[in-house]
Amino acid sequence: MQAYAPSGLPRRTLVIAVAGLLLTLMLAALDSTIVATAMPSIAADLHGFDRYSWVTVAYLLTSTIGVPVIGKLADQYGRKPFLVLGAVVFVLASLLCAAAASLEQLIAFRLVQGLGGGTVTAAVFAAVPRMFSPTARARIIGLFTGTYGLASIVGPLLGGLITDTIGWRGVFWINLPIGIVALGLVLVVYPAEVRSGQRPVVDYLGAAALVGGMTPLLLALLLGGHDIPWGSSTMAALLVTSALLLAAFVWAERRAAEPIVPLGVLATRTLGVPVLGSALMSAGLLSTLLFTPLFIQGVIGQSASQAGAILAPMTTAFVAASVVVGQLIARIGRSRPTGVAGMALAASGLWLMAGMGSETGYPVVARNLVIIGLGLGAALASFVVAAQNALPIEQAGVATALNTFARAFGGTLASAALGGLLSAGVGGGVQSAVAGASPLAEALHQTFLVGAAVVALGAATSLVLRDLPMTARHEQRFASVAPRAAQTQRSPRLPSGG
């Protein structure tokens, strides 16, 4: 087990620590899918159909904007405090969401819940490089990336079951038992990192400028075209404010002693390419998840339940590919070949989706989705491993946080851009187009085609990825750092027996 636990953790401790991290990550990953199923009941009960999207927007906003900042702080202060803090905030906010008496209260509590979810996600992925050597990291990363695929399968089914049996508030109550178990495992088993006597230098100006600049940009992308018209003065104000604050962020980072985002490293092929690849991968994933159910219902005339079930083969393939490709990367020592192949495969699947029409059979759609799932799952595992290996262990939080942020931002941008393309294609709107499948089919053809082009661009971009091979020299370098890290960790005690 030494290859898997270079930090010196016993096998049993390591296994339980990984279980705690996976369960903690599952908290955040499940939330969006499980709540989405309950949203019609929530909106009806709290009388807020006019603010329906804000429940989701609130969570996406706060869970995204703070990720790079949390990643940097986790590098400076250690991962465990942020794992604990994120889980506590998430669970407490879930209880508040369950008790919400109005949609305004629910939106406010979802903002807080998003902060907890974003903190957990950033801290979990930052913890992996600290626990595993580069080769072992590649083998294990599929379990973490596959968590999102598993959540997309379990979430809608669980959300529907809970809403139909005990009501929509139950989708928030369920976070309590999961959160308590995850928090207990992290507190007892995950090793604490004792900081050196040097006081960390926090880039407060850069953090404030980044959060301030991303907030209006994400609001514009999430609400543009429906809640806020694209040509309105409000939209212009949001975009101008974002541009000014992001420019201030770049200025601050160039002068900071400990920048939140090391711009020089981000521009390299070792980190910049996998971060960009993750954003393009997420764009392809979201374009598939969002518009496939619409095609199933509106074009080939299947039921809503069939539209939801059609995504299960894709997510299963996604999880399987993430795990298998992680093992393959560990064997070949490189992530560029699997990243390029994965994106190319996904692009071909989206191209096949663009060729579908009203005569397309259900099995053909499932086949195309499996191709996409295999490709995107392979690409995600490749880009995560590449990003984690791009920087020293001491900066792993920054690398993984940037990768996580890129996925969230890429998905948000794709949702806004492709949603606008679809609306323009159907003219009178999606709802009116469902009655006549022909205009909707043509609009979806264009949407899937653009999605295929975006993912193909990701494959081309991956060709210039500068792989850091997992040679013996890199393993020895990690091994030389790990003992020093182990000396600063308080080894947790586990009950004897078993």
User: Could you count the other beta carbons within 10 Å of the beta carbon of residue 141?
Assistant: 28
Q: Quick check: helix, strand or coil at residue 192? A: strand
pLDDT of residue 52: 65
Longest dimension (CA), the chain: 68
Strand, helix or coil for residue 8: coil
Contacts of 289 (CB under 8 A, 6+ apart): 152, 311
Pairing of strands 192-193, 489-490: antiparallel
pLDDT band at 298 (very low <50, low <70, confident <90, very high): confident
What number is the average pLDDT over the span 243-258?
90
Mean pLDDT of the chain: 80
Long-range contacts of 248-252 (CB under 8 A, 24+ apart): 248/209, 248/213, 249/206, 249/209, 249/210, 249/213, 252/203, 252/205, 252/206, 252/209
Q: What percent of the chain has pLDDT over 90?
A: 24
Does residue 481 carry a pLDDT above 50? no
Q: Which helix (H) or strand (E) holds 101?
A: none
**Those residues with Cβ within 8 angstroms of residue 407's Cβ, 6 or more apart along the chain or in another chain:** 278, 279, 281, 282, 380
Higher pLDDT, 227 or 377: 377
- Cα→Cα distances 352→189, 279, 348, 370, 438, Å: 47, 22, 6, 11, 18
User: Could you tell me the CA-to-CA distances from 6 to 125, 137, 203, 479, 484 in Å, in that order?
Assistant: 17, 11, 31, 6, 11
Six token digits for residue 9: 């953790």
Considering the segment(s) 263-467 as one domain, its CATH architecture is Up-down Bundle (1.20)
The residues that bridge with 192 in the sheet, in sequence order, are 490
pLDDT band of 469, cuts 50, 70, 90: low
Summarised one tens digit per residue, pLDDT across range 409-453 is: 888 788 777 877 776 666 544 444 444 446 778 888 888 999 999
**What is d(CA 319, CA 337) in angstroms, rounded to the nearest whole number?**
19
Most confident of 40-49, 103-112, 403-412, 476-485: 103-112
412 closest CA partner among 198, 235, 258, 220:
220
pLDDT at 430: 44
Q: What is the pLDDT of residues 308-343, one digit of tens each?
A: 678 888 888 998 998 899 889 888 888 899 999 999
pLDDT score at 121:
87
Opening angle at CA 119, ends 113 and 124, nearest 5:
125
If you count them, how many residues does the chain have?
498
Percentage above 70 pLDDT, the chain: 85
For the stretch 77-88, pLDDT in tens is 888 899 999 999
Q: Is the pLDDT of residue 47 over 70?
A: yes
* Bridge partner list, 224: 228
Q: How many CB atoms within 10 Å of residue 410?
A: 24
What are the pLDDT digits (tens) for 5-40? 445 567 778 888 888 888 888 888 888 778 877 877
The residues that bridge with 228 in the sheet, in sequence order, are 224
Residue 493 has pLDDT above 60, yes or no: no
Tokens of 323: 């795990």
**Lowest pLDDT segment from 108-117, 218-227, 341-350, 418-427:** 418-427
CATH topology classification for 1-194+470-498: Growth Hormone; Chain: A; (1.20.1250)
Cα 191 to chain centroid distance, Å, stands at 25
* The pLDDT of residue 407: 85
Average pLDDT (246-271) is 84
Say which residues have a Cβ less than 8 Å from residue 171's Cβ, sequence separation at least 6. 34, 35, 37, 38, 158, 159, 162, 163
